[in-house]
Each structure stands twice: as structure tokens, then as C-alpha cells.
Amino acid sequence: MDPELEAFVPLLPRTDLSDPAAYRRIYAELAASRPAPDTTGLDVADRTVPADPDVRVRVYRPHGARGAVLWLHGGAWVAGSLDTEHLWAAPMAHLSGAVVITVDYRLSPENRFPAALDDAYAALVWTYEHAAELGIDPDRIAVGGHSAGGGIAAAVALRARDEQGPPIRFQLLNEAILDDRQQTWSARNFTDTPWNNRAVRAAAWGHYLGSRPATPYAAPARAEDLSGLPPAYVATAEFDPNRDEDVDYALRLLQAGVSVELHQWPGTFHGSLAIQSAEVSQRHVAELGAVLHRALAG
């Protein structure tokens, strides 16, 4: 493990999804413990997407932005909000030069699949239909997310393709959870890795799906046909049970004729990019912003 990251491992709280309310408190407390991001030069506004039910979004607009990314937060489908994602959305808007739209999708287990996907897709349609109001080019819209949010982003891309929905220019999948089957080497063997491990994944899928069988829109790795999807950037952490399914998904996208950039971050663990004092985390976050800038500004 990267030595700068390893020093923080004993300080991390134990992740236990058996009590969603307690997990949400820990998630929110960790977010609140970090310094507020710089929003200088950004127009930040909360909006409501008409849907059933309505969906809250937060729009971060840098001056001169031409493209936008619909950004889905992590949190194992159980935790996360517009406020906890503020820490990531503002820097991503600065780094990418794109409008960042975060989505307050419904959480599990109170609202199981497909609630989160429906909310995210409604936000995509709203972004496309309100492109002129947002000051963006409707052909420069990306979807992206971290962890569970990365899985939702991949599902949004699949659904938009299948339903001939809004055109998606790019998908950014950062340490995404894509496969409920737990059959890859990393999913089977990473049983005590920091923050995310086999047991955490199993609990997250249980909350998300309940008794429903997984479909490709819940677990995008189950999709048999990946052709016709938008170009992708896939980032993985070395000590993350999600690692191998992300690598497999990137390779399958390539084999389906989709342009892909795959970046494996050595010495990292799931969510370690939040430890911003580590040099590898700084490079990781900067890379995410640069990737979106290249995809949406060019």
C-alpha cells in the first residue's frame, strides 16, 4: 500500500452497513470534518427536477462552461447527499471547467432499485432539456460517479442507449460497483481491505436489491451487449474488491468497440482519494478533472 495512505488506515472507522442510519451518520461526519471547498468563480444553485417524486439537484457552473457532467455520489446506495458531495463537486467543476450537477437520488433500503436509477435518469433528461437555460451544449453531457454512483452512471448510459434517450458524450466510472455476483478474484479475496470489502459489498447489494434479482440496469456487468455506449474512463484502486469487475468492464467495452481509458491506481484502496494529503490522491483527483475537461471542452 502507498505509505502515505497506509498511515491513515488505523484512523478509518469500521464500515458496517447492518445499520444504515449509523452508516449515514458516519458518512456525514467524515464529510463535515473536511474543510469546505473553494467555490470562488462558481455559480452554485439548488434546483428541483420534476419527476415522481421530484429530484433535488445542485448545479455548479464555472464561468464559460460549455459542457456538463451529471455526477452521482457514492455511499453504497445507502448514504450520501448533495451536502456530502459538495466536497467533490466544487473541485471537479474547477478542474474540469464543466457544469457539475449532483443528484440527491433516493437511498436504500427505504427506496430500493430502481429508485436511484430512475432519479438519475430523470436528472439526465432534465439536463438535456434545459441545456440552453444551463448555458451548455446539449451534445456535451457526460455521466460519472464514484463507487455506487459509478454503477448508477454506467446504468444511466445503458438505459439512455436502450431507450434512445439523451445523447451521452462520455462516462466516467471511478471505483464503480458494477457486479452483484462477487465472483472476481478481488471480490472473493479482499475481505479486510479498508472502507470497502466483500462483506460491505454484500450488505450494500442486499440493501439495494432486496429480494429482486439483479438486472443489467442494477448491475451493469450483467449487460450482454456493451456496444453503442459512450466513450469511458474507468479508474480502479488496487486494494478494492470492485477492482477486477471494473477492469473486466473496461475490457468488454473495448471489445464492443467503445473507446476506453483504464487507469489502475497502485497502492490505493477504495475511496482513498479522499485523503488529499497523499500525493497519489492529489494526482487521482486532478486526473478525474482533466479527463472530464478533455471529454467536454474539446
Catalytic center residues: 147, 240, 270
CA angle, residues 14, 18, 22, in degrees to nearest 5: 65
272 burial type by CB count under 10 A (0-12 exposed, 13-18 middle, 19+ buried): buried
Among 179, 209, 205, 202, residue whose Cα is nearest residue 113: 209
In contact, 81 and 73? CB cutoff 8 Å: yes
Distance in angstroms (rounded) separating the CA atoms of residues 70 and 131: 12
Query: What would the grid cell of residue 155 be?
Result: 446504468
Task: Collapse the DSSP code of 239 into the 3-class scheme (helix H, G, I; strand E, B; otherwise coil) and give the result.
Answer: strand
Task: Tell me the sheet residues that pair with 60.
Answer: 44, 100
* Strand-by-strand arrangement of the 141-146 sheet: 42-49, 55-62, 99-103, 68-72, 141-146, 170-174, 232-239, 260-269
